Structure 1
Amino acid sequence: MFIKIAIKSLINRKTTAWLTILSVATSLFVLLAVKQISSQAKTSFGRTVSGVDLIVGARTGQLNLLLASVFRIGYVSNSVSWDSYQTIKNQKYVKWAVPISLGDSHKGYPVLGTTVQYFDVFKYGNKQSLEIAQGKAFTPDAFQSAQVVLGAAVAEKLGYQLDQKLVLSHGVGVTSFTHHDHVKFTVVGILAATGTPIDQTLHISLSGIEAMHSDVVPHHEEHEEHEEHEHSAHENVDKVSAVLVGVKAKFATLYVQKAVNDFKNEPLMAIIPGVALTELWQMMASMEKVLLLISILVLFATLLGMSTMLLASMRERSREISILRALGASPLFIFCLIELEVLVLTLISLFVAMVMVWGIGLIAAPVLSSYYGIFIEVSFLNQDTLYIGLGVLLMSLLMGLLPAINAYKNALQTGLLIK
């Protein structure tokens, strides 16, 4: 009966109640969205690369190198020579070294040139290996270099199948005016979904990269296209964008890093992905705190407005309170009734905000994955939402004390008034 009276009272003031719910829900939506995007972005970035001990590239900012080589965000301005790659690969503590070449795309999706070893050593998430769902990996044979392995999202969104022909483009933008249409690549494999930027990437061999650019790199034309013997995939490669490195033992990571940073032949740097990610989060932490603070202040102002609305309605509800007192309701009952109304308004607002976050998250998820390589898993209820919800309920009850105490005092003094 107690809850029924509170709900009936709110229905009787439904216009004011719905406006209050809308304002509280909007401020809650901002707070929940900021928190969820932040946590999901960290999860997405953290699971993208696993098992890579070092990333080697030309000297630049370590965040720039990490974002370009792993997350396909931005680009590397300089390259690593093939001789330097071979030197790194032959270091005594290096277990494996995989070169990658970036800078081309297909309909806005990045193209990654690498060796076939990439599919064996690159891991993501909890050290999960890449799996080829359909077909096979490209061959290292230079005369069969026009082969491409698609990420799961590329195949799904573009509707590509095995044995389909496609043309790659120069540059990483959605629109490119330079197409490598003299080389048509054949889809030979499609990777299983990983929930990382790999899903948005087309993978080709390094010899495929060289074949694409053979029309703009004159000295490559000196090599005969139809020699009878096979060439390895790297024979015509002069430089790569970066090198992914795995060491034989964790203690050797810093040793190899120092050796690369002190490299004499060309200016190189080696970064530890985990350390670079930590730097990224430290940079983003202040912005995240500011956004959360603004969201909390907006929510506080909205809850204060709800408290003011209830306080202003006390004069209009004096007859309602008088009738309840005449029916035997105690001042404590009136106090609890006002607090319950605050609780109901907040609960409905919280539910509406959660629906808004969930719905907009479903719409935003494919956009974030397509354009930024950030994969978010939209959930209706998670730990952060639960904690925020409990905190907001407690805050709303505290804000409701003022109108509730006012109603309690009026209930002590008010009798039944006939108007």
Structure 2
Amino acid sequence: MSRFPLPRLALRSVLNRRATALLTALTVAISVTLFLGVEKVRHGARASFENTISGTDLIVGARSSPINLLLYSIFHIGDPTNAISWQSYEAVSGAPSVAWTVPISLGDSHRGFRVVGTDNRFFEHYKYANRRDLEFENGGPLEDTFSAVIGARVADELGYEVGGELIVAHGGGEFSFVQHDQNPFTLTGILAPTGTPVDRSVFVRLDGLDAIHDGAGPGEDHAGDAHTEDDHAHAEPDQITAFLVGLDHPAAALRLQRQVNTYPDEALQAIIPGMALVQLWSVIGAAETTLTLIAAFVVLTGLVSILTAILTSLNERRREMAILRALGARPHHIFALLVSEAALLALAGAVLGTALTYGLLAVLAPVLEARYAILIAQLWPGLYDLAIVAAVTGAAALLGAFPAWRAYRNSLADGMTIRV
């Protein structure tokens, strides 16, 4: 055997059955691609989920559960337990540590998309994905009382363009019997895709929402200043749904949160978005665990294919093993040869699968970011990927020990006898 080093002999043995070896390595490659792809997208999805809102220190709304407040104020899922008064909003806004606030009013929709009453401070202060700013793909922010800005998904699905009109309906469902068709809104801007709930939202001014519910038309003044361009000067609503808070110093968040939660004049609740997002992910995170388990079982299937390929070839290779014994190979050499073949097939498949994973990610990463805001932070192999390649190779070598042990026993039993 000294004339034939084991790695070289294993490689020649694999190449001698190149068709079977190629299919086996390809099976491993596909399974590793699926596993690494799921892991990369899972980590990217979790990071993007936690970055749905960024740079906001507190969210304040009516007292309920933190997850419920987060769901309806940011994800626009569900409904608030109650509204909060404008006086309470101003009281919190005037706290010494508060740098800015953004009021939000919910309760209306447009063809299944939530309508968000707010002002231009939303487009200035709302950030996502590690403090990325909202950008306009077309047009600009809200102008007069009956202007509207829509997210990218709304524009794509409904085919809207700047300058068009839309009708707001009462209620948050896809269908509504109360259409405010006497008060159409004019589109002034379309936001660039973010992959957040912003893409599925319609934004109008707070006084615009008040106007359609009060019955004032687009040509009429609402509270005397329907067409003012100053967001802070328009008529104040009686109540809003929630508001976002930015602080001069993030360290003041806990103190202000405690003050809001014990506010004596109204039952308010303040939540820290990052903490609430982690809580929400813990509720829905079972899906990612399931995906990981499925991908791991696929990898196991690929490894079993190596075991199957070697086992099915044992009887055909007894003549080969006998010839190797005649050339001086010991039984333990036969054992090591088959283990090496299993490891070599797994190594080739794992390396190919890793390369395929990052090739696909390089192509799909812009699509994942634009449409789903799933940011793939690393587009080249790292230590984790090397560890996966090593683990797959080691596991294959371990599984290969079983057919190698059988070949070892056959070698001892056959000796120099050649069976035909």
Cα deviation code 1:208-261 (max 9, x no counterpart)? 22234345xxxx89x993479424665262222211011222232122111111
Q: Secondary structure at the match of 1:376?
A: coil
2:17 to 6, 9, 32: 9
Question: How many percent identity over aligned positions?
Answer: 35
C-alpha RMSD of matched pairs (Å) = 4.1
Distance in 2 (alpha carbons) for counterparts of 1:181 and 1:325: 90
Distance in 1 (alpha carbons) for counterparts of 2:298 and 2:125: 48
Residue 52 of structure 2 is aligned to residue 51 of structure 1? no
1:336 maps to which residue? 337
Query: Structure 2 length as normaliser, TM-score?
Result: 0.78
Distance in 2 (alpha carbons) for counterparts of 1:79 and 1:364: 40
2:5 maps to which residue? none
Cα deviation code 1:367-408 (max 9, x no counterpart)? 9998xxx53257886655554344223222221222234334
Q: Secondary structure at the match of 1:269?
A: strand
Q: Secondary structure at the match of 1:189?
A: strand
Written as runs of structure 1 = structure 2, the 5 A alignment for 1:12-411 is 22=27, 31-32=35-36, 34-139=38-143, 144-214=144-214, 225-226=220-221, 229-231=224-226, 235=235, 237-283=237-283, 288-289=288-289, 292=292, 296=296, 299-300=299-300, 303-304=303-304, 306-307=306-307, 310-323=310-323, 332=333, 335-336=336-337, 339-341=340-342, 343-344=344-345, 347-348=348-349, 375-377=373-375, 383=382, 387-411=387-411
Q: Is the 8 A contact 1:167 1:183 kept in 2?
A: yes
Cα deviation code 1:252-306 (max 9, x no counterpart)? 2122111111112221100011221232344456665566456546644763564
Distance 1:181 1:394, change over 3 A: farther
Q: Is the 8 A contact 2:14 2:21 kept in 1?
A: no
Distance in 2 (alpha carbons) for counterparts of 1:353 and 1:108: 41
Distance 1:227 1:396, change over 3 A: closer
Distance in 1 (alpha carbons) for counterparts of 2:73 and 2:388: 36
For 1:159, the aligned partner's letter is: G
Moved more, 388-397 or 334-343: 334-343
CA deviation after TM superposition for structure 1 residue 113, in Å: 1.4
Q: Secondary structure at the match of 1:316?
A: helix
Distance in 1 (alpha carbons) for counterparts of 2:145 and 2:299: 58
Distance in 2 (alpha carbons) for counterparts of 1:399 and 1:239: 67
Q: 5+ unaligned residues in a row in structure 1: which ranges?
A: none
Moved more, 74-83 or 258-267: 74-83
Distance in 2 (alpha carbons) for counterparts of 1:108 and 1:227: 27
Distance in 1 (alpha carbons) for counterparts of 2:403 and 2:94: 75
Q: Is the 8 A contact 2:350 2:389 kept in 1?
A: no
Distance in 2 (alpha carbons) for counterparts of 1:149 and 1:228: 22
Moved more, 192-201 or 50-59: 192-201
CA deviation after TM superposition for structure 1 residue 119, in Å: 1.8
Distance 1:343 1:253, change over 3 A: same
Distance in 1 (alpha carbons) for counterparts of 2:364 and 2:170: 30
Moved more, 269-278 or 306-315: 306-315
For 1:137, the aligned partner's letter is: P
Distance in 2 (alpha carbons) for counterparts of 1:54 and 1:88: 11
2:3 maps to which residue? none
Q: Secondary structure at the match of 2:253?
A: helix
Distance in 2 (alpha carbons) for counterparts of 1:251 and 1:12: 62
Distance in 1 (alpha carbons) for counterparts of 2:113 and 2:84: 23
Q: Is the 8 A contact 2:346 2:392 kept in 1?
A: no
Distance in 1 (alpha carbons) for counterparts of 2:381 and 2:110: 37
Query: Structure 1 length as normaliser, TM-score?
Result: 0.78
Distance 1:286 1:133, change over 3 A: closer
CA deviation after TM superposition for structure 1 residue 347, in Å: 4.3
CA deviation after TM superposition for structure 1 residue 124, in Å: 2.3
For 2:220, the aligned partner's letter is: E
Distance in 2 (alpha carbons) for counterparts of 1:381 and 1:107: 42
Q: Is the 8 A contact 1:101 1:206 kept in 2?
A: yes
Q: Secondary structure at the match of 2:307?
A: helix
Equivalenced residue count is 403
